[in-house]
Structure 1
Amino acid sequence: MTRIRTREGIELAYESLGPEDAPAVILIMGLGAQMHVWPTSLCNRLVEAGYRVIRFDNRDTGRSTALDDHGNPSLIRVWLGRRLKRNPKVPYTLKDMSRDVLALMNELDIPSAHLVGASMGGMIAQILAAQKRKRVRSLTSIMSSASAPRVPVSQLQVMLKLARRPLQRDREEHFRYIARMSEVIGSPGYPMSDKEIHRLAETSWERTSSPMGFKRQLVAITHAGDRRRLLQKIKARTLVIHGADDPLIPVTMGIETASLIRKAKLRVITGMGHDFPEALVPRLSRLLIKHLGKAEQDWQKKISKKRSGKQKKTEAQPDLSQIDSTQIDSSGHTDPVDWLEPLD
């Protein structure tokens, strides 16, 4: 694991897997989750398919910079401010987090990449795909939405349980929280094993930077509001994956996301909740590899077309550097070969 530092002074911890000259796939994780929530087995399958895979900790998560100087912002105040069409002050926004991704790409000398975002990470990837088209080869939005999640009353309890994170560094309480979250938002058709849950809890405990980072990220999501118009600007090949049994972001929001993006493909997985159990990796990797392959073909065709157009334009223009100045008369014509069209 290594780090880069952005112009804003944010340090981002990241891992790069696969050859550096392969097409890059950047994995953007969701709310309060660290880079290792992306299953290593999924990363390895993408590398085997010919890609360079980069996963990283968002700001305020894992080994990346913790912005504790911003304190504990009021979620209710931000929510009310958005409802009243005001612009409440927040520690940072999803756009700021999208600029972190660009900074990572710039530091690693990656002109363009395939973006795969989960939950909040999907929202960040959507913003980049809409606003930085030349940097995005394709978009995959997983268990995400086009606006701040609209949680039905029946699912409000899920959000409340998710928000009850341990505020102090207590190992046993942290492990209980991870186990509880697996029960609340896990995939009923692909339940995680006790070993998987323990591994996630162990890794996140060792790499936790700031308990309050979760709250600041949640405020950024709330502040972002409605992005439905923004999504209509996306032109990159897009795949939307959503669990039919997602208790946190309803599948209707995934369907809406796909409907807003031109020619987006939607894949709803029965039994999938709001997590990445190992049992789902084979299916997710097949969907991703197929999507990335088609998107990469599109991208290479686009590059070839641009190069061909530039070459034709260059060939159509006279190369004045190869002409002896003594052969050009006062009219601008060459002698003995006049290849310039005379003016009327």
Structure 2
Amino acid sequence: MPKAYVNGVDIEYVAAGDPDGPPLLLIPGLGLQLTVWEPGFVDLLCERGFFVIRLDNRDSGLSTKLKGEPDLASVLGGDFSSVPYSIGEMADDAAVLLAHLGLEQVHVVGMSLGGMIAQSLAIRYPQLVASVCSIMSTTGDPSVGAPTDAAAGVLLQPAGSSREEAIVRSVEIGRTIGSPKYPAGDDVLRERAAAAYDRSYSPEGLARQLAAILSATDRTPALGHLRLPFLVIHGEDDPLVTLSGGEATARAVPGASLLTFPGMGHDLPPQLWDEITTAIAANTVTPSLA
């Protein structure tokens, strides 16, 4: 897969579909790699005519791993001095990558942290972003989208010190935050976890990304200035970014649409891929308010 040196870091990316089709950027979530967008999901978007670009955010996958260990306890207490970078800088990575690829305007889809990056990308580069789909994400307002105690607890457990420990921990996370109506079997969760570990394992990078989330400012006022097709997708049973985060995102953006799914948690169940990709495609042809 190709790599581009942008914004001071190497960003790994991969493209699929018709290069002459409308470009669509997929941004993964916290600690996740571009492979979280599974081939079947990507294929559905390609079948709808899109030129689909996936990237590894900085500090995940095969992109640059930075240095420095954030003091998450201090960050939670409001001291951001150990935070190495912001969500805005992660959005800058995406913007410079798109410029590197010669793309002047793209549709952007992001999940969880990726949704936050997609929102920031639209705020910082309004001429670059043609539409946004923010999936299982939130605005940065700490009063909405807060995780349940169980979800927060499993996410903050110590990282695995071996391959097997890391896989077991990942399976536990998947069980806790996944979709109750569409549960993935432990064999599927384990296979995904093993593949992710073997491609790249960086718990320190996850901590740095988490520090960027925890130190983010509320994007609500800036989201109110957006004038573009904006779709919010959220699981009604998401324990990690609870539904109020998606609802607040939709309220913040003028003309935004909100699509929620009963029984969906903090993942993308294959049973919903067709409906989700159909909604993404429809959003890209929604008239702008501008």
Rounded Cα–Cα distance in structure 1 between residues aligned with 2:152 and 2:65: 23
Is this contact kept in 2: 1:114–1:138, CA < 8 A? yes
How far is 1:151 from its partner? 7.6
CA distance in 2, matches of 1:147, 1:28: 17
Aligned to 1:291: 283
For residues 22-64 of structure 1, give each alpha carbon's deviation from its aligned partner in whole angstroms, at most 9, with x where no partner exists: 1111001111111111121111111111110011111110111
Q: Relative to total residues, which structure has the larger helix share, 1 or 2?
A: 1
1:3 aligns with 2:3: yes
User: CA separation of 1:194/1:282 partners in 2, compared to 1, >3 Å: closer, same or farther?
Assistant: farther
Q: What SS does structure 2 have at the residue aligned with 1:139?
A: strand
Counterpart in 2 of 1:262? Answer: 254
- Structure 2: which 5+ runs fail to align? none
- Partner amino acid, structure 1, of 2:191: R
Deviation at 1:109, TM superposition (A): 0.8
Q: Please tell me the residue identity of whatever aligns with 1:2.
A: P
1:77 partner letter: S
Partner in structure 2 of residue 17 of structure 1: 16
Q: Which residue of 1 aligns with 2:107?
A: 114
Check if 1:144 corresponds to 2:147: no
2:69 is the alignment partner of 1:76: no
Aligned residue in 2 for 1:246: 238
Residue 220 of structure 1 corresponds to 212
SS in 2 for 1:59: coil
Change beyond 3 A, Cα 1:194–1:209: closer
Superimposed CA distance per residue, residues 279-311 of structure 1 (whole angstroms, 9 cap, x where no aligned partner): 22122122212222x24xx47xx9xxxxxxxxx
Distance 1:242 1:272 in 2: 8
> C-alpha displacement at 1:154, in angstroms?
8.3
Gaps of 5+ in 1: 303-344
Aligned amino acid, residue 232 of structure 2:
V
Give identity over the alignment, percent: 36
CA distance in 1, matches of 2:244, 2:255: 18
Q: Is the 8 A contact 1:23 1:51 kept in 2?
A: yes
Give the secondary-structure state (helix, strand or coil) at the position aligned to 1:189: coil
Alpha-carbon displacement from aligned partner over 1:207-240 (angstroms, at most 9, x marks no partner) = 1242211110000001113111111111110000
Q: Is the CA contact 2:25–2:52 (under 8 Å) kept in the aligned structure 1?
A: yes
1:30 has 2:29 as partner: yes
Q: Counterpart amino acid of 2:167?
A: F
- Pair 1:51–1:183, CA change in 2 (3 A): same
**Which one-letter code corresponds to 2:76 in the other structure?**
W
Q: Which amino acid aligns with 1:289?
A: A
Q: Distance in 1 between matches of 2:129 and 2:113?
A: 18
CA distance in 1, matches of 2:202, 2:244: 33
The equivalent position to 1:279 in structure 2, one of 268, 271, 277, is 271
In structure 2, the residue matched to 1:314 is none
How many residues get paired? 289
Counterparts of 1:89 and 1:235, CA distance in 2: 35
In the alignment, the residues of structure 1 paired with residue 257 and residue 173 of structure 2 have an alpha-carbon distance, to the nearest angstrom, of 29
Give, in angstroms, the shift of residue 167 of structure 1. 4.7
Given residue 54 of structure 1, which amino acid in structure 2 is its aligned partner? I
Contact 1:29 1:57 survives alignment (8 Å): yes
Partner Cα distance (1:267, 1:238) in 2: 11
Displacement over 4 Å in runs of 4+:
148-154
Q: Give me the TM-score of the superposition, normalised by structure 1.
A: 0.80
CA distance in 2, matches of 1:230, 1:88: 24
Q: TM-score, normalised by structure 2?
A: 0.94
Flag the structure with larger Rg: 1
Mapped partners of 1:5, 1:152: distance in 2 = 34
- Corresponding residue for 2:60? 61
Q: 1:214 to 1:154 in 2, by over 3 A?
A: closer
Residues 150 and 218 of structure 1, relative CA distance in 2, 3 Å threshold: farther
DSSP 3-state at the match of 2:20: coil
* Deviations, residues 129-172 of structure 1 (Å, cap 9, x unaligned): 1221110000000000011555899822321211214253x111
Deviations 1:107-143 (Å, cap 9, x if unpaired)?
A: 1111110000111110111111122111000000000
Is the contact between residue 130 and residue 235 of structure 1 (CA under 8 Å) also seen in structure 2?
Answer: no
Task: Work out the CA distance in 1 between the residues paired with 2:146 and 2:126.
Answer: 37
Distance 1:153 1:134 in 2: 31
